[in-house]
Amino acid sequence: MAAKGLLRFLLALLLLVGCLGRPGPPPSAAAPRAIAAIYNFGDSISDTGNFIREGAPVGMMARTGGLPYGSAIGGATGRCSDGYLMIDFLATDLGLPLLSPYLDKDADFTHGANFAVTGATALDTASLAKMGVSMAHTNSSLAVQLQRFKDLMASTTKSSSETRERLASALVMVGEIGGNDYNYAFAANRPRANESGLHSVGHMLTGAVESLVLVPRVVKSITGAARELLDMGATRLVIPGNFPLGCVPSYLSAVDETDPGAYDGNGCLVGLNLFAQMHNVLLQQGVRELRRLYPSATIAYADYFSAYVRMLRGASKMGFDAKAAFRACCGAGGGAYNVDMDRMCGAPGTTVCARPDERLSWDGVHLTQHSYKVMTELLYRRGFASPAPVTFPRH
């Protein structure tokens, strides 16, 4: 009953927040310049190698620097997938080189830089700790990444006007980030082994409540970073929303809910998806406000939630095995999800499926290269990122 009560509360809150307004169409802006560089901020969804360069990797993603990660592209690079990510496909489609991680000190940053770090959060470590949320992966929060960007600009341009000139022909990706803030809050209160009944529900409720408190602060951090970038001269921003958490195999496995009423028609957990939508609605309100304050900039909201659901619903037509839509390709544990959070991909005892391109999920948390390619197509060629932040060269 407690779980159902929480669902009703989340739904009511989502409807209330939604009634406050969603971003309308942005005002028209001057024709943008061709994109000459991309600057990317985020977490493991777009990290191309910063995490493995921070030192000895720790946490459940510690094995991303070795095979089978990167098996589709000839070896591990620090990308949390079997191959390339959305940021890679986007850069390639724009005719730009793949983004080098900022912590690769030998890299050429002429065409941009990637500041994303696996495990990164929107809020800084100290702020999360005050709220009882601990993290063991990295201290490279969004604020840290933004400072690294400022350091790069200071070392490669001679003045603020030169920085503005560079950003006038750049695409800036502010996320996806914020998911880990919620992940850590949920993880701290996930049901314990062999725990059931009221104790299990109690832990889930505690995690949900703690995460709800985080939402407005996470959104404020993201929009605050976006404002700083716009003030520095950014003219084209993409601000992605959260994925549908209730469709992610690691969450499905952790909750292991047996009540059919807890799932929607896609097989995803209703409560967790409502939570993700809470974040997304508040973030869209923030995007609307940014558009009001910076009418000459193109500020796109990338709807990761809807794009992923579209991919899930059209799995068969897009080349996936629809029967294994929630089953991780690389992992341990078997069952419907093949996820064991204590034995993530690459750990002893884990296995890799025969055809990764037929799976949506790579390791229960991140997507396969094929999924990221489909997501990129949906976002930047089929309108799930709006207004369209880029124009691709005609072939």
Average pLDDT, the chain: 89
d(CA 184, CA 125): 11
Region of 208 (left: φ > 0; alpha: ψ -120 to 50; beta: rest) is alpha
| Residue 60 pLDDT grade (very low, low, confident, very high; cuts 50, 70, 90) | confident
Bridge-partner residues for 332, per DSSP?
none
User: pLDDT tens digits, residue range 77-86?
Assistant: 999 999 999 9
The Cα–Cα gap between 89 and 375 comes to: 10
Q: Which pLDDT belongs to residue 18?
A: 53
* Residue 209: per-residue pLDDT: 63
Confidence band for 28, pLDDT divided at 50, 70 and 90: very low
Read off the pLDDT band of 13 (50, 70, 90).
Answer: low
Q: How does pLDDT run across 303-350, given as a tens digit for each residue?
A: 999 999 999 999 999 999 999 999 999 999 889 999 998 999 999 999
Using a pLDDT cut of 90, give the percent of the chain over it.
76
pLDDT at position 5: 52
Write out the two tokens for 297.
């900039």
pLDDT value for 75: 96
Per-residue model confidence (pLDDT) at position 201 = 40
Q: Give the residue-averaged pLDDT of 371-390.
A: 97
**pLDDT tens readout for residues 93-110:** 999 999 999 999 999 999
Specify the pLDDT at position 333.
81
Q: How far is it, in rounded angstroms, from Cα 379 to Cα 171?
A: 15
Residue 1 pLDDT greater than 60, yes or no: no
- Sorted by where each starts, the structural domains of the chain and their CATH numbers stand as 2-20+35-317 (3.40.50.1110)
Residues in the chain: 395
**Catalytic residue numbers, as ranges:** 44, 363, 366
Q: pLDDT tens for residues 238-265?
A: 999 999 999 999 999 998 889 999 999 9
Gap between the Cα atoms of 126 and 217, Å rounded: 13
**Nearest to residue 64, comparing CAs of 76, 50, 73?**
76
pTM: 0.90
Helix axes 270-293, 197-232, angle to 10 degrees: 20
% residues pLDDT > 70 (the chain): 85
Maximum distance among all Cα pairs of the chain, rounded to whole angstroms? 62
pLDDT of residue 7: 55
Q: In whole angstroms, what is the distance from residue 286 CA to residue 223 CA?
A: 6
Q: What is the pLDDT of residues 111-167, one digit of tens each?
A: 999 999 999 999 999 999 988 888 767 899 999 999 999 999 999 999 999 999 999
On the question of pLDDT at 361 being above 70, the answer is yes
pLDDT (0 to 100) of residue 195: 46
Give me the pLDDT at residue 6, please: 53
Does residue 12 carry a pLDDT above 80? no
**Mean pLDDT, residues 60-72:** 93
Separation CA 48–CA 90 (nearest Å): 13
Q: Give the pLDDT confidence of 85-97 residue by residue, as tens digits.
A: 999 999 999 999 9
**pLDDT recorded at residue 32:** 62
Categorize the per-residue pLDDT at 365 as very low, low, confident or very high, splitting at 50, 70 and 90: very high
Task: Report the pLDDT value the prediction gives residue 137, as an integer from 0 to 100.
Answer: 79
- Assess contact for 262 and 247: CB atoms under 8 A: no
